[in-house]
Amino acid sequence: MTRTAGPYAVIGTRPVRHDGVDKVTGRAIYGTDTRTAGMLHGKVLRSPHAHARILSIDTRSAEALGGVHAVITARDMPEVGDEFLPGGEAGPGLAKYKSANLLARAKVLYEGHAVAAVAAADPHTAEEATRLIDVRYDILPPALDVRRAMEPDAPLLHDDLFTDTAGVRAAAPSNIAAHHVYEEGDVEAGFTRADLVVEREFTTATVHQGYIEPHNALAYWSVDGQLTVECSSQGHFMVRDELSGVLRWPVSRIRVIPTEIGGGFGAKTTSYLEALAALLARKAGRPVKMTMDRTETLLATGPTPGSYERVKIGVTKEGRITAAQAYIVFEAGAFPGSAITAGCLAAFAPYRLTSFRIEGFDVVVNKPKSTAYRAPGATQTEFAVESVVNEICERLGMDRLEFRLRNASAEGDLRADGTRFGRIGMVECLEAARASDHWRSALAKAAGPRRGRGVASGWWMNFGGRSSAVARLNADGTVTLLEGSVDIGGTRTSIAMQLAETLGIPVEDVRPWVPDTDAIGYTGLTGGSRVTFATGWAAHEAGRDLRRRIAAALAELWDLPADEIRAELGAFVARGRRATFKEAAKELDQAGVQATGTADVQPPQHGPAFATHIVDVEVDEETGKVEIVRYTAVQDVGTAIYPPYVEGQIHGGVAQGVGWALNEEYVYDAEGHLRNRSLLDYRMPTALDLPAIETIVVEVPNPGHPYGVRGVGEVPIVPPPAAIADAIHDAMGVRLRDLPMSPARVHAAIASRAG
């Protein structure tokens, strides 16, 4: 890895993760591990139908069962309206929809929709009680296909949902929640100037994030009405705010304690069990613990939306894009709010465009409410765009990386949202890919199955948002770091490293903690690749504040003006006097002085991330099975704060992208029943399905951050589907435009070509 930023003393090194020992030895406490005295166990009754009116719910038999302490239905939920609640990466949503997703009211809108919940002395009794609840339904036809759901005669999910187009509300209700339009220039004139125009259609399936730990919550009330919730989530402040909104309870009387989290990838940026556990606990007068099983996580939590795309691109014979157009439809699931906005912004982001039109539709269907999945919306739309780009390269007879270099986005170029790019690294990624050993090497040919090489680029916007941090000096010269971002993949260390760099001390002398919502300032979600950027910035500012406070305290002790004391490489220097960080800490402690630095930030210049991936595949013509033979991921990371974290995020994103490309999908029957509701039937890749993933880390520092940080974790999931589709075409001469590219689909495409 060639460093273009620095040099730094701590940043770019590879210390042991602060949370590593507890996690590898099994000592870390996750949400499913939490327990408390007098705890009851909660279970949820879920709808067996995808679309039905609820005629009646009779809970008397369940309530009469021995060991049952409380039963709740939507009648126990406060009435809420059209006020907005803070949302996950997909944005805010209406409180009434959030509430109705937690417990169904007039209708159930997907198989697995929660209808009632029970708290009992043990999980088995609670589960038995759910089976005693008698629910009468009037079954309705479901809307499952996103394009069919848009038609005027499609089954209507919500009578009060009207399409919003730039703030203009449609006259009649429909399943189309929102219609977005982004355009610039004269698109038709651009297509007229083109020597070649390619237009293609694509579909992607509903996909699960594949986190290891299921959703969970432990809730209990104090006698004065204070609600405490312990859970694993991607944002304990998000949980607090959602609880306040749906329960109509003040945020000052809700405390959320974060536990370790066993994966999320965007799926834990919203809550499912926390409000139910709170209502059951209040009704029962005892703490209630709830944990989903794996079937529930597949049936009733938010997958990434399935989609339909139609992409049209015009180019000159020299390989310059003249115009681009995209028509994008995303499944929102049962309630409005897919990642359609992000998908629209991502579609053409890697390319310099002067004339484009992007239409996006957010459409409700009888499936679970969709939520974020790593670069939400970008994988779907960039799969379509990159596939068209690769076909254009073939038809022009042009090198695929050369075409991308001729059209690559650079600083100052227009984005779909009307803003312009700052300093970005798209060109640098393409140049690194072209210079890589993988691209320059000959494609190894096998005696049996056919081999091919593919390439694709990707982009993710990254986010900033609010973050808080506190740096407290300890008597032994160490620093306790309190920061508000839940740690999924090592961010405690990446944030601690930025504080250590700011203070000039070893990272081992920083003790990072993620406290509860009452012990740290508001901090946004761990999502959108914002944490190392925004919370790292907060740690940097808290470190600067701590330095100032230490210098001011030393000035009094040394009887010197504060502006004469300088902080240099972990020491404080003035008029020939010098105290190391540890010596200063001891001196302040002996004088009874406590030094604490604080920061609350909302940095605006979050740097977008670009990546280019190269993949070699082997295709078995007899079965259609695709094997990944070699994979290289090139990515601009800004500055690699903690290289193992950077590399791990890239590896993980690629692995998930491969699964999305080749195997993963929700399979529904005509009635809306999920047929592959376990990880035996929902096929995710394992270590046996992947080669060692090669990474090329490009560092184009983000000028909007003191250490040049860009988000890392989202963009690596974006290029794999298009790159693999390109490699399959290189091997077999067929282009697949529907995900997943399962053995059956690949075999059918090969057979169709042969016929």
Q: What tens digit of pLDDT does each residue of 516-552 get? A: 999 999 999 999 999 999 999 999 999 999 999 999 9
Selected residue with higher pLDDT from 82 and 291: 291
450-485 pLDDT, tens digit each:
999 999 999 999 999 999 999 999 999 999 999 999
Task: Report residue 436 as tokens.
Answer: 């890589």
Cα–Cα dist 325/414, whole Å: 15
Can you give the pLDDT at residue 1?
44
**Where do the domains of the chain lie, and which CATH numbers do they carry?**
20-28+464-601 (3.30.365.10), 34-140+212-263+268-300 (3.90.1170.50), 307-462+607-754 (3.30.365.10)
CA 389 → CA 350, 714, 755, distances in Å? 11, 22, 27
Cα–Cα dist 59/41, whole Å: 17
Sheet of 68-73: strands edge to edge? 68-73, 114-120, 40-46, 288-291, 216-221, 227-231, 254-258
Among 541, 648, 653, CA closest to 599: 541
Cα–Cα dist 290/702, whole Å: 42
For the chain, what percent of residues have pLDDT higher than 70? 98
For the chain, what percent of residues have pLDDT higher than 90? 94
Give the global pTM.
0.97
Is the Cβ–Cβ distance between 451 and 620 less than 8 Å?
no
Cα–Cα dist 693/152, whole Å: 47
Residue 38 has pLDDT above 70, yes or no: yes
Residue 563 has pLDDT above 60, yes or no: yes
Among 356, 382, 357, CA closest to 460: 382
